[in-house]
């Protein structure tokens, strides 16, 4: 069996139109930091 052509099944055509600001990402990082210790 051959792997299907990726571009026939997946697209970023409708993605990537929303970007968070650096400040938004800084807030995300700050909030999720509590979970760093659970990642082995």
Partner 1 sequence: MLSKGVQSRWMLYSAAGIRNDGQTITTQKKTLESDPALCEAVTGGLLEALAFSLTDPEESLGLFRKEVPEMALNPSAKEFARIGLGMWQHGIDRPEVREHGLGWSNAGSYAETTDLVMQYLNSPACSGRRQMLCSPTALPARSS
Residues near partner 1 (CB under 8 A): 1, 3-4, 6-7, 9-10, 12-20, 24-25, 27-29, 31-32, 34-36, 38-40
Q: Report in angstroms how near the CB of residue 9 gets to partner 1 at its nearest.
A: 7
Q: Report in angstroms how near the CB of residue 21 gets to partner 1 at its nearest.
A: 9
d(CA 33, CA 29) in angstroms, rounded, equals: 6
First to last CA, the chain: 35
Q: Report in angstroms how near the CB of residue 5 gets to partner 1 at its nearest.
A: 9
Distance of alpha carbon 5 from the chain centroid? 22
Provide Rg for the chain, Cα atoms. Answer: 17
């Amino acid at each position: 069996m051959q792997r299907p052509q990726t571009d026939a099944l997946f697209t970023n055509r409708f993605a990537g139109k929303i970007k968070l600001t650096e400040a938004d990402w800084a807030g995300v990082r700050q909030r999720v930091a509590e979970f760093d210790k659970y990642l082995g």
